[in-house]
Amino acid sequence: MIRFTQSFKPFWQTLNFSVWRTTGVLLLMWMIGGGVHAQSDRIDLDRIQRATVFIMQARQNVTAPIMTCVGTGTIVSRDGLILTNAHNTVPNRSCPGELLLIALSVRAYEPPIPLYQAEIVQADEGLDLALIRITRTNDGRLVDPAVLALPFVQLAESDDLRLDSTLTVIGYPNIGDQAITQVRGTIVGFTAEPSGGNRSWIKTSAQIPGTMSGGGAYNQDGDLIGIPTTAPITADSPDATCLTLQDTNGDGQANSRDDCVPTGGVINLLRPVSFARPLIRAASLGLQVEFLSSMRAVETAAGTPSFSGLFFTPAVNEAGMPTSTIRALPSGSTSLYLFFNYANMTPETVYELQTTVDGVDNPTFGLSPVRWSGGQNGTWYVGTSEQPLPNGVYEFNLLIDGVSSGTARLIVGPADTVPSFSDIVFGVEDIQGNIAGNGFVLPVASTISARFIYRNMVDGASWAAIWVRDNAEIPGSRVEEIWTFGEQGTRTIRIQSPSGLLPGSYRLDLYIDNRLAATSQLTLAGAQDGRFARIFDDTHFTTAQSPEEARSSAAITSFSAGTEAIYALFDWQLLAPDTRWTVTWYIDDQVFFEQTLPWAASESGENFLMRLTSRETIPDGTYRLELKLNNLLFGSQTARVGIGQLPIDRFASATGVQMSGTIYDAYTSMGIVGASVFIVSEDFSAADFLRDWNQAQLFASAITDRTGRFEIDRLLQPEVPYSLVIIADGYLPITADGVEFAPTDESFDIPIYLTPG
């Protein structure tokens, strides 16, 4: 219900409804009451296009910036945080520029216009994701983030995705000389990797131009579900075009002797937006985690990157280990994982999996060139699940930087009845012979027990068990026997060392007739605590003036609001160098930092130190630190800052009604420049605001431009009764209470006429 009130009348004037004012008011009432629907689709394409930016990485030159790389990005917060890829923003050998220029689609159907500069806030080069923040205007002036009110997009829950769902990818298809473009497609599959489980990548049928890398893919509700991602395009990439745009060598000509900007290529892979959430959260809150203690090893490759030891498994357990090894899959199988060892890999290494089925390329079961997101050395897998694998002969070819580095072959067809070992589990064996423990991280001891399942075994077959530590067979651990234990069941084997087994990573390989039948890994670390390992101890938080002081400060679980830094400390024992451990920080149960890195401190010690800081002070919230090995939790601590909960972000929602319009002079029909439009929050009326004139009573406001046009910079929530006040010097003001929008409204554009007073 809408009420119109005429207020703020000079006392000697009487109400005098002019024709034009009445018409304008009635028009306003009708439109608000009727609910003008500018768009009936659920996806707000206009808003998404405005929130999609063109990013130009450049290097500073004496006279002008020299463009080095281009890409697309998406604004994910009102104050100018942009989500994009790392490979075309973080300086690297393919894209060496240090300057980031941001161009916006100011007018639909026109190329973007450079308006801002940005800086990198968070980046994960392995995941190829980066958060950059707008910091300056084009002329170098600082931008106040509190004043920026840019359109931004809503993130979706990637886990809600289904095969064959339609998605819309939005970005800039070229070097920035074309308007923003949308490409439609469907989800055709998911690719698994250890970095993110079964949905580490989303595969789409959409043929996405390479320069749209870093843009956004949206579901039918207009929520961001993924980021088109590809390996960096270089001049040598297939299907790449390198465009010469500037005279970079100063010889007076722009030709092939100058630096060029690589474009081209096609993308069909999306990084799920769930990978970006921790980065976005940390960037929004300005949180930074530093390792102050015995720095983590900088993984510099000592040799040529390589893959080896390829094998297949039909499933992966919760520790990321293969359940068994196979050479064939039965018909109707829906999951398959290719495991392999890797060495000398770096985040800038590009790897790719090409797959053929019966000699025909099948990208559904492959992986387009992407950056490496694993460590330097170890075991990795690429897999597929949730979709049936057609019968046929599968050939897999792993490539590193475009060069083949390993091949493997698998048959999908008849049921596999060959003898098999599977489901290796490690643990501590009790007197009754039961295996206990968490299965893949055991305390340092003198004995490791491993239990496995065997099927279709034939007595008389030869089998072997080989224990490996640090990729070298443990002397004296090999078992080579003739099988006499029946057709199927479980078997337990052990490795012992009277002097005690050293901490570190171990692997058990089981062979049947000299064929690798099963393999699994475990980590020995920490002291024995019953059946489990005690690796991390005395995990606590504290505050101090310096790291040295923090080491001797008492533990604190509740910090006052306004704390500038929080230190986290823990003791550790029997943790071998290069053991991969994972640090995860949470705020209000939401991850904002997670990193898996090789252990680089001593084997045992005290007071490993980390520091949490923020742009200003640590935001209120409940913080939790978790320490894990092989996805198993071994240390945790929680602390509260301030009220123990993040304040509600009034500007966090990207859903609502976009209100805009034009204000005209009722007599001349010319736009009124500089008119002020106020949206008063639902707790106050227009009369309240006109009496108090307090900014705190406002939900949003806007000022008209040279054409009389205004845009409210904050989305209005449906079914909330706002009040509207419009004023301009020389004109009679307009007020209205009870302005509400229906839940189905998405945008609202209205002409308003003011009468000269």
Partner 1 sequence: MTVIEVGREERGQLTLRQRWSHYLVLVYALTMLIVGVNLRDSLLYATVPYEDVRAGIRAFYPQGWLLDNQGDYVFRVRDMRRTDFKTTIQVQILPVSADSTTRNLLDNLLLTRAQIFGQYRQFPRAIFQLPDETPATSVNYTFVASQDDPFLESFPTVVAGQDVVILQREQAVIITFQASADEYDTLYPVFQTFLADLEF
Q: Two tokens at 584?
A: 């995860």
Which residue lies nearer to partner 1 by CB, 14 or 552? 14
Contact between residue 423 and residue 324 where contact means Cβ atoms under 8 Å apart: yes
Which residue blocks in 268-352 are alpha helix, DSSP H? 277-285
| Identity of the residue, 415 or 561, whose beta carbon is nearer to partner 1 in the bound complex | 561
Cβ 144 to partner 1, closest distance in Å?
Answer: 7
Contact 348, 371 (CB under 8 A): yes
CA distance 313 to 574: 32
- For the bound state, the minimum distance from the C-beta of residue 135 to partner 1, rounded and expressed in Å, comes to 11
The residue count for the chain: 757
Give the nearest distance from C-beta 706 to partner 1 in angstroms. 5
Q: Cα separation of 459 and 512, whole Å?
A: 12
| Three-state DSSP string of 657-682 | EEEEEEEEECCCCCECCCCEEEEECC
Nearer to partner 1, 259 or 749 (CB): 749
CB of 584 to partner 1, least distance (A): 35
Whichever of 106 and 235 has its CB closer to partner 1, that residue is: 106
Q: Are 465 and 481 in contact (CB under 8 A)?
A: no
Nearer residue to partner 1 within complex by CB, 310 or 727? 727
Pairing of strands 489-496, 447-455: antiparallel
Q: Shortest distance, CB of residue 701 to partner 1, whole angstroms?
A: 8
Task: Kindly state the helix (H) or strand (E) to which residue 541 belongs, with its residue range.
Answer: strand 536-542
Residue 716 is classified by DSSP as B
Half-sphere exposure of 199 (CA within 13 A, CB side): 18
Nearer to partner 1, 116 or 722 (CB): 116
595 forms beta bridges with: 583
User: Cα-flanking dihedrals φ and ψ of residue 48, to 5°?
Assistant: -65, -40
Sequence-distant (≥ 6) Cβ neighbours of residue 373 within 8 angstroms:
126, 127, 128, 193, 195, 347
Minimum CB–partner distance for residue 140 and partner 1 (Å):
8
For the bound state, the minimum distance from the C-beta of residue 710 to partner 1, rounded and expressed in Å, comes to 7
* Residue 24 vs 369, nearer CB to partner 1: 24
Q: Which is nearer to partner 1, 603 or 711 (CB)?
A: 711
Minimum CB distance to partner 1, residue 10 (Å): 8
The Cα–Cα gap between 181 and 86 comes to 22
Q: What count of Cα atoms within 13 Å lies in the side-chain half-sphere of residue 114?
A: 19
Tell how strand 632-641 and strand 558-559 pair up. parallel
| Residues in touch with partner 1 (CB under 8 A) | 10, 50, 104, 106, 115, 139, 141-142, 144, 146-150, 672-676, 678, 692-696, 702-707, 709-711, 713, 727-730
Least Cβ distance, residue 713 to partner 1 (angstroms): 7
Q: Which is nearer to partner 1, 150 or 345 (CB)?
A: 150
In Å, the largest CA–CA distance within the chain is 113
Beta bridge partners of 355: 396
Is 712 in contact with 660 (CB distance < 8 Å)? yes
Closer CB to partner 1, 102 or 399, in the complex:
102
Tokens, residue 611: 């520091």
Angle at 125 between CA 120 and CA 127, to 5 degrees: 115
Instruction: Please state, in angstroms and rounded to a whole number, the distance separating the CA atoms of residues 744 and 40.
Output: 8
Minimal distance, residue 117 CB to partner 1, in Å: 13
Residues pairing with 123 in the sheet: 130
C-beta closer to partner 1: residue 623 or 678: 678
Closest CB 209 distance from partner 1, rounded Å: 25
Q: Are 70 and 57 in contact (CB under 8 A)?
A: yes
Who's near 252: CB < 8 A, 6+ residues apart? none
Beta carbon of residue 597, minimum distance to partner 1 (angstroms, whole number): 38
Which lies closer to partner 1 via its Cβ, residue 104 or residue 276? 104
Q: Compare residues 80 and 214 and give the one whose CB is closer to partner 1.
A: 80
Shortest Å distance, C-beta 675 to partner 1: 7
